[in-house]
Amino acid sequence: MPNFTDVTEFILLGLTSRQEFQVLFFVIFLVVYMITLLGNIGMIILISTSPQLQSPMYFFLSHLSFVDVWFSSNVTPKMLENLLSETKTISYVGCLVQCYFFIALVHVEVYILAVMAFDRYMAICNPLLYGSRMSRTVCVRLISVPYVYGFSVSLICTLWTYGLYFCGNFEINHFYCADPPLIKIACGGVHIKEYTMIVIAGINFTYSLSVVLISYTLIVVAVLRMHSADGRKKAFSTCGSHLTAVTMFYGTLIFMYLRRPTEESVEQGKMVAVFYTTVIPMLNPMIYSLRNKDVKEAVNKAIAKANVGQ
């Protein structure tokens, strides 16, 4: 029988064991984190204060920015602390809390991306009914579902993580508490956690991605039927930013969570995790602002208003 051990804390091995890179990584990720906070909080404030951005698309975008702030904040501060610390530990309770919020926010984000795809479908394929079908009440209901569902599913998944047993190896080969590296070092309760992780991730990624793919298939059909070249260009431009965000987020998550945890997959997943926990939340505001005429105009008006106020 395995000799199970009571665990009070884990050691996070982080991105690298080489001391000469610790300070460099700290500076890089601190800058990325600050840009993420400023970009996403700025986007939320801009959308809430700009009259020209009071549409369902920007309402959903503000929630995407809100989730990105918490998504990055769930991981980055502890990572920054451990980069300058000799102990590099996280408590058992802190690990479970980090797992809970990570899984919850991942599910919230994938379904917000699905809701945004549905919104683009309604705007392009049913423009005359868009105002009535996507009323404020409908938008609030649509955005509430990802939050309720995401945090509920995460509670179940975290309880299965709580069911893992450990036999003395408390070194997590990662820079935050994630299911694959925890499964890799556990010696009990592994099989049910491993299979439920893959099944739940597979179901949710497949369902949410199906909504995105069906929405965009119908959008492409509708756009190709348009006689106006300007109309086609405008329709595709409003979808380009969202498709970029979807491709980056789903691609990295599928690479990490739809494979069985092995030494190789955990090591590769650690590199990929840097991308979706720090880089993507930083890039999302840039993707949606650099390619969006309305956002650019709102930014220019906000800057002009600030200059007048001075």
Please write down the HEC assignment for all residues of 184-226: HHCCECHHHHHHHHHHHHHHHHHHHHHHHHHHHHHHHHHHHCC
pLDDT at 263: 60
Q: Is the pLDDT of residue 138 over 90?
A: yes
Helix (H) or strand (E) holding 171: strand 171-172
pLDDT for residue 4? 62
Give the pLDDT of residue 266: 62
Q: What is the pLDDT of residue 21?
A: 82
Banded pLDDT at 35 (limits 50, 70, 90): very high
pLDDT classification of 258: cutoffs 50, 70, 90:
low
pLDDT of residue 243: 81
Q: What per-residue confidence (pLDDT) applies to 297? A: 79
Q: Please give the pLDDT value at position 210.
A: 92
Picking from 109, 104, 114, 100, the residue whose alpha carbon sits closest to that of residue 207 is 114
Q: Residue 195 has what pLDDT?
A: 86
Predicted confidence at residue 178, as pLDDT, reads 84
pLDDT in tens, 278-301: 888 898 888 877 667 778 778 777
What pLDDT is recorded for position 1? Answer: 47
Average pLDDT over residues 19-32: 88
Inform me whether the pLDDT recorded for 142 exceeds 90: yes
CATH assignment, 9-309: 1.20.1070.10
pLDDT of residue 33: 95
- Evaluate whether 56 touches 134 at the Cβ level (below 8 Å): yes
Whole-prediction pTM: 0.89
pLDDT average, residue stretch 9-38? 88
> Which among 171, 209, 170, 164 has a CA at the least distance from the CA of 190?
164
Are 65 and 285 within 8 A, CB to CB?
A: yes
- The pLDDT of residue 66: 95
For residues 167 and 94, give the distance between their C-alpha atoms in angstroms, rounded to a whole number: 19
pLDDT at position 185: 87
- DSSP 8-state secondary structure symbol assigned to residue 127: T
Task: Please determine, for residue 262, whether its predicted confidence score (pLDDT) is greater than 70.
Answer: no
pLDDT, mean of residues 207-228: 87
- pLDDT of 304 reads 76
Average pLDDT, the chain: 85
- Decide which of 73 and 245 is more confident: 73
All structural domains of the chain with their residue ranges: 9-309
Residues 148-207 have pLDDT tens digits of: 999 999 999 998 888 888 887 788 888 898 888 888 888 888 888 888 888 888 899 889
Q: Do residues 167 and 5 make contact, with C-beta atoms less than 8 angstroms apart?
A: yes
β-bridge partners, 90: 10
Q: How many whole angstroms separate alpha carbon 235 and alpha carbon 260?
A: 40
pLDDT of residue 219 exceeding 70: yes
How far is Cα 102 from Cα 80, in angstroms, rounded to an integer? Answer: 17
Give the DSSP letter string of 49-71: H-GGG-SHHHHHHHHHHHHHHHH
* Closest to 95 in 3D by CA, of 172, 33, 153: 172
Which tokens hold the place of 294?
A: 């309305």
Q: What is the pLDDT of residue 230?
A: 73
SS3 32: helix
